Every structure is written in C-alpha cells, then in structure tokens.
Structure 1
C-alpha cells in the first residue's frame, strides 16, 4: 500500500495485535519507539481510495514529536471511509507556528487536502501535539462528514475534539472527548478560518486558554457554523485576549441556528453562547441556568424549560433538521437534537418514556 498511494484498497478484516506482523509496524516498539509510519506526506499524499468495509484497526500507536503530518494517514487527497479506529495513541508536532497550514496531527489523518474526503469514520483513544491537533483530523481543507471522535485531545493551539484547523466542509459529525489547549480550543473544532461546520455537535469538556468554545474555539471572518450545538462544560483564561463561550470562544464569522448548554467559566469576555463576537449571530441560544451565564456577546438567553420547548426557538427548523423527545404531560424533556446526527441519549434527557 505504501508504494501505491494512488490505488484503491479494501480492508477485509480487523487489524489488531493478533494480526500477523501488526505489532512490527504499529505498536510502541515499532520503528525505534516511533510506532506506525503514516501513509502519505506533503510531497506524496495518499490520492487513492481506502474502503474500510466497516472493519476496525485497534491499538494504533504513533509517537513522532518532530513530524508535522501525523496520523494513520499523513496527508490525504483521496478518500478514506467506513472504518473504526479503536484505542489509538497518537502524538505528533502538527503545524509549524510560522507556517500554520503546513501540518496537523489526528488519529486518522494529519492533513486532508482540498480534494480529500473522510466519511463514516469513528475513532476513540488519545491524541496529542502542538499546533493543529484533532481527535480525527489535524487540518482539513477537504470534506469531512458523518464521523465521530471519542478522543482525549491535548495540544497547544488550534485544538479540537474532531478537527484542529478546518478550512473545508464539516457536516453531520460529533465529538465527545475532553479537549485541552492554550488557545483556539473547541469541543469539535479548534479554529475555523474559512471553512464551514454544519449539522454537528460536541459533548466533551473543554479546558482552554484564550478563544475556548464548547463547539469551536475561533471562527474567523470566512468561517461559518450552522445547525449545531454544544453541551460540554467550558473553562478558559481569556484575560488580555478574550473569548470563552458555551458554543464559540471568538467569532468574527457567522453563527446560525445553534445553541449551547454547558457550564461556562473564565476570566474575561465570557458568554453563555459566544465569548467575544464582532460579526453575525442569528437564531442562536444558550441556557442561562446550566451555563451559569446571564450574558453573551450575541444570541438569546433562555431558561432550561424555554430551551427545551421548541416553540421558543425562532429560526429552528423542526420539520427537517431538529427534533425533541417528549414524555407524558410534561412535554419536551430533551434539548433539540439533530435528526441526521442523533445523540444517544438525547441532550438534556431527564426521563425515559
């Protein structure tokens, strides 16, 4: 496979420590302790198709602290789909601070280039690094969809539960792992400079410095988040820089039809929905009870009961996009959830019908 990066491949069986030769290339003793050597790099990306056939790869180990493109695949400009990564342990440098789009570290892919596609991939474990670090993908300029990450992610800047730096399209995705960073840290995506995030959610706890958000740390002036939500707690130290929010830490792009309910705490520029906003926030809400915040730089604050009652959410499409779970005479007992990216149990679920 390594010698034919433009070909089509189909995984026909699970790969784990019982697979002949697997430990020689993918465990903690392989390659002098560096573990697996990623497939493809910036000069020779993977341009073929990898069909996982709903099989799994277990116990993938990578420890390449000086390498910029780290993951099962280093760089992808083809397609990777229908695979599960279980109990990964991946560490890579990620992008260079002076050239922030040159690298990335993720469990599956370091960099997804503009023609790259990642679809129907699930991953769990832990990922760490410095710049552009994500639970699934480090940096994406392509199309990532219908994928989930339950990964503990730890990095410095541009750190996200699913993607560290997103200049592409992210849709129908979710992340549930705890995320820790020093800047541009989000439960789903760390930084969205010019990309889009839609029909997605994050439930993991976020502990960031500046620009920390339950869903996205920083949306830049070409970025957009729509039809998405975050339920995880968010804490950050935004003193002197700004931006800690239940959904987005810093927004100079577009936020639409979204909400946040996790507890939010920080030093300054703290908001239930958005910490620091200089652009557009429409039809978006936060729970003033659960976030512990009565203010936000954009959005509308509602009580828990109001946010669980869909008639209060002007702008939300409950015919095609959103739904709630109801039980008996008390009405709605869940927050809105996405029909095409369903969270189980539903967000805010209190009882079982």
Structure 2
C-alpha cells in the first residue's frame, strides 16, 4: 500500500491547528448557537490578542478576578469589536489597564457598528489612558451596550467617562457607573462625550473632575439623546450635566424619591437596594444581584395557601436563624386554622397550630 507522507503530514497539521483554535478558549466555536466561552483570565488575554475573533460571539461563564493583572483593551478605533459579548450577569473584577499615552482605552477599546456588550459588570477597575477612555469601553462607534455597569477609577485627558468615553451614534441603555472619573475635557460620570448617540435608563454616581465640559452624567453632548437618566450631584461634585437629571444622594438611594427613576422597570430589570449592602442604596441590575441571607420579619401577618409554601418556609427559617430571604410571616391561615411560628420547636418544624 502506498502512503502519501506529505498528505498525512498536512492532515496532521490541519488537525493540530483546528484543535489549537478550539482550545484557545474554554469552549465554543464563536457562533450564535455556540459562542466562545470565556471562563478564565487566560481566555480573556487570548481574546485581547486574537483580533481575528473580534467579530465573533462570546459568553462569560463565571465571574473573573484579574487580581490587578494588566490587560490590553479589546478593539481599536481602526479595528473595533463588532461581535457580541454576553456577560450573562457575571462580573470582571480588579482589572488594570494602564496605557496613559494611548487612545480608545477600556476593557473594550472600541465597540463598532453591530457590536454589542450585554449583561457585563466591571468591578474595581483601574483604567488610565489618553483620550476616549471608559471603565467599560473607550468609545462606542455605532455599537450597543445594555445591562452593564462599572465601578472603580477612570483617568484620562479628553473624552473620559465612568462607563464609556465617547458614545458616537451608539446606544447605551439600562446601565450605571459609580467610577471616579478624572480628566481634562469632555468628562462625564457615565459618558464623556455623546455624538449623535443615545443613553436611556442609566445613572451615574461617582466623583467627577475636569477642566472643560464636565458633567455629572455627560460632559459634552452633540445631537445626542439622553432620557430617563440621572446623576448624583452630591457624590459627583457636579451640579450640571449635558444630559440627564441631577438628584441628591438621598433622592437617588433607597427609598428613592418620587420623580427619580421614573419609568424604570423595577419588576424585572432593576432591583431595589433596600438595606444598602449591595450597591450603597442605589438600584442594582437584577442579573447581578447575588442571593444573600436576609432576616425575616416575625412581627408581620401574612396569608398564604398551605402546600409547598409551608415546606419552603420551614426550610428557610430554622429555629431563630433565618437561612435565606423568606416571605415575611408570623401567622398562616388555611381553612380557618391559624398557624404560628414557634422558635421552640425542633428545626425544621417551626410552624404549629396556634392555640
């Protein structure tokens, strides 16, 4: 039997290349139905290096802690990110980007037409660049950012924002930033400069400082649209903005003053930070709210139909120690019978017929 060694070697090379390309991330093939999976910090570093993948589909599999690792932005003004990045409600923490002489700086340097970032949190970020600098994206050039937030510190010269440096013909909606922002001109708490872009249902609550065109929400706005957006005048140190409505800290934090967050969806999109432990009292995005223990109020009456609910309540409330956020209840009624909470009972049977 004759074996073509050249063809065998070529086949091996092709197989190795295919396997290597697949192994570059934690999984996936970069398509809509099978996005590349970002599950580790090295996955993200690979994405930053592989500009050929900047038009692909990605999903973040879990929270990532960069622990101060200095990373490169994804996308440039000449080669923007035009793919789809689904944060899936996860966050990237402790990211360091320190390139003070370069433009288009952020976790994403530039988001181009058709590009979208959705459901991504950036926490305790430290971003330093020259111009077009943001906690999440340096510039948006026709792209879309939805359900995202940024916390930390952003420093630059011109076009500097807590979330986005410049929004040019793009869309930013259902987002917030609490980053401190410092620069020279076109400096804003959420976005530094808006050029024919749109911002809706967003807020900014970070310190903002600069020399020219400085605003609590947006520094400069040229033909842009800003609606249902707010900034904290006290925290930002800014009483004016080129877009958005200024509010006091008391008005923007729970219990949220009337006329603030008008038209916002607190049923499925935003969550109230009742005790201030999640976001300092400011609204949180529901996809990013963790499950936390919460004390049950044993001084309120609540009517509930017997069945699975009673089992859940006994599991949630063991003895005098609440295990999770539970329906606040002291008494239960069913078919005329009244049940009362009895902490003296052996857990998890804590609900007995009241005398």
Q: TM-score, structure 2 length as denominator?
A: 0.65
- SS of residue paired to 1:335: coil
Pair 1:127-2:74 in alignment: no
Q: 1:52 aligns to what? A: 26
- Is the contact between residue 73 and residue 108 of structure 2 (CA under 8 Å) also seen in structure 1? no
Counterparts of 2:290 and 2:81 in 1: how far apart (Å)? 24
Question: Considering only aligned residues, what root-mean-square deviation do their CA atoms show, in Å?
Answer: 3.5
CA distance in 2, matches of 1:2, 1:325: 55
**Corresponding residue number in structure 2 for 1:68:** none
Q: How does 1:156-305 map to 2 (within 5 A)?
A: 156-160=102-106, 162-167=107-112, 168-176=115-123, 177-221=125-169, 223-238=170-185, 243-252=186-195, 253-278=197-222, 279-305=224-250
Measure how far apart 1:163 and its partner are: 1.1
- Between the aligned partners of 1:219 and 1:6, the Cα distance in structure 2 is 38
User: C-alpha separation between the residues in 2 aligned to 1:207 and 1:270?
Assistant: 14
- Alpha-carbon offset, residue 244 of structure 1: 0.2
Deviation at 1:251, TM superposition (A): 0.6
Q: Tell me the residue number matched to 2:96.
A: 152
CA distance in 2, matches of 1:157, 1:131: 12
Query: 2:73·2:109 contact (CA, 8 Å) conserved in 1?
Result: no
Unaligned 5+ runs, structure 1? 10-38, 40-45, 54-75, 91-104, 346-352
Kindly indicate whether the alpha-carbon contact (under 8 Å) linking 2:74 and 2:81 is maintained by their aligned counterparts in 1. no
Using the TM superposition, name which of 205-214 and 334-343 deviates more. Answer: 334-343
SS at match of 1:289: helix
- Show structure 2 runs of 5+ residues with no match: 1-11, 293-324, 326-355
Q: Aligned-pair distance for 1:307?
A: 0.7
Aligned to 1:113: 54
Whole-Å separation in 1 of the counterparts to 2:38 and 2:262:
36
Deviation of the 1:120 alpha carbon: 2.5
Asked if structure 1 preserves the Cα contact closer than 8 Å seen for 2:48 and 2:72, the reply is no
Change in Cα spacing, 1:299 to 1:195, as seen in structure 2 (3 Å) is: same
Shift of 1:227: 0.3
1:210-251 Cα shifts (integer Å, max 9, x gaps): 000000000002x1100000001000112xxxx100000001
SS in 1 for 2:251: helix
Q: Is the 8 A contact 1:50 1:81 kept in 2?
A: no
Alignment length (residue pairs): 261
Deviation of the 1:87 alpha carbon: 12
Distance 1:293 1:107, change over 3 A: same
Max Rg structure: 2
Q: Displacement, 1:192? A: 0.5
Cα deviation code 1:133-161 (max 9, x no counterpart): 7xxxx94210101153331012311101x
Question: 1 or 2, which has the higher strand percentage?
Answer: 1
- Decide whether aligned partners of structure 1 residues 333 and 51 sit closer, same or farther in structure 2, where only a CA change above 3 A counts: closer
* SS of the residue 1:159 aligns to: coil
